[in-house]
Chains A and B, each alone.
Chain A
Amino acid sequence: MRSLFSPTFLSIVFIALLSSANTSLAATFKIATLSPDGSAWMVKMRAAGKDIEAQTNGRVKFKFYPGGVMGSDSAVIRKMKIGQLHGGALTGGALAKAAPDTQIYNLPFMFKSFAEVDYVRERMDDKIIQSFADAGYTVFGLAEGGFAYMLANRSITDFDTLKQGKIWAPDNDILVQRSMESFELGTIPLALGDVLPSLQTGMVDTVATSPIGAIALQWHTQVTHITDMPLLYFYGILALNNKAYKKVSDDDKVIVSHVMNSAFKAIDKINRQDNIDAFEALQALGIQRVEMNPADKTMMQGQADALAQTMLNNKQFSQPIFDEIQTLLTEFRGAAE
Chain B
Amino acid sequence: MITRSCPQLMIRFILLATLTVTTGCSSIISNQTAKLANSLSTAILDNDDLQVVADGAPAYLIMIDALISSSPKSDSLLRAGSSLNGAYASAFVTDTDRRLKMTEKSLAYAEQAACIEIKTLCDVRQLSYQQLSKALATEKSSSVPVLYTLGTAWAGWIQSRSSDWKAVGALANVKLILETIVALDEGYENGNAHLYLGVLGTVLPPALGGKPEIGAHHFQKAIDLSQGKNLIAKVFYAENYARLVFDRDIHDRLLNEVIAADAKTAGYTLMNTVAQQQARALLASADDYF
Contacts and interface: CB of A to CB of B under 8 A. Distances in A.
Contacts of A281: 164-166, 168-169
Given A192-B208, A285-B166, A36 B1 contact: no
Interface in B49-107: none
Interface string A261-296: 000000000010010011011101110000000000
Interface stretch (B3-11, B146-154, B189-197, B259-267): B3-11
Interface centre among B4, B128, B168 (most CB of A within 10 A): B4
A30 to B, nearest CB: 12
A36 B169 contact: no
Given A169-B1, A193-B211, A208-B3, A216 B204 contact: yes
Given A185-B1, A187-B1, 13 more contacts: A38-B10, A41-B8, A150-B1, A173-B4, A192-B5, A192-B208, A216-B6, A217-B204, A280-B166, A281-B164, A281-B165, A282-B169, A285-B128
B188 interface: no
Given A36-B7, A145-B4, A67 B165 contact: no
7 contacts: A72-B207, A145-B6, A146-B6, A150-B1, A193-B210, A213-B3, A281-B164
A150 B2 CA distance: 8
A305 interface: no
A278 B167 CA distance: 10
Interface string B1-38: 11111111110100000000000000000000000000
Interface of B: 1-10, 12, 128-130, 164-166, 168-172, 203-211, 243-246
Contact of B205 (A36, A145, A232): A36
Contacts of B10: 36-39
Contacts of B1: 150, 167-170, 176, 180, 185, 187, 206-208
Interface residues of A, number: 66
A195 B169 contact: no
Interface string A54-74: 000000000001111101100
Interface of A: 34-41, 65-69, 71-72, 91, 93, 145-146, 148, 150, 167-170, 173, 176, 179-180, 185, 187, 191-196, 206-213, 215-218, 220-222, 231-232, 234, 236, 271, 274, 277-278, 280-282, 284-286
Contact of B4 (A234, A277, A286): A234
B209 A195 contact: yes
B169 A285 contact: yes
